[in-house]
Amino acid sequence: MALTPVERFLLAHLLYEYGGRVYFTTGREPPEVALAGFLAEDFVPADDRRYQRVKSAFADALRGLRDKWMVELRGFEVVLTYAGRAEAQKLTREQYNRLREKFARA
């Protein structure tokens, strides 16, 4: 089961920045869209023109990760599964930090 680069990056982001578990709130949006917006704000402010594009890419990646059983979305929480944690750890913290820096400049 191949992961997209965005899916792999999000797994590593959830692991290294949040310890594999995030609690979030939703308004009228589906959970993966609300969570994608929350995570997108880690990289670009909500008023930045790139925000909607990042949020949309993250929402698609979260749906893919859920469908591949890499994350569990339950109520107001997302948790890495055992398989998701194992995949996230394939990207070392140093590799993740380099990607994060590169992403922030783009």
Q: How many domains does the chain have?
A: 1
Q: Alpha carbon of 53 to those of 9, 44, 50, 59, 63: distances in Å?
A: 16, 10, 5, 10, 16
Banded model confidence at residue 105, pLDDT cuts 50, 70, 90: confident
Model pTM score: 0.92
Q: What is the pLDDT of residues 27-79, one digit of tens each?
A: 788 999 999 999 999 999 999 999 999 999 999 999 999 999 999 998 789 99
Q: Which domain holds residue 56?
A: 5-105
CATH number at residue 89: 1.10.10
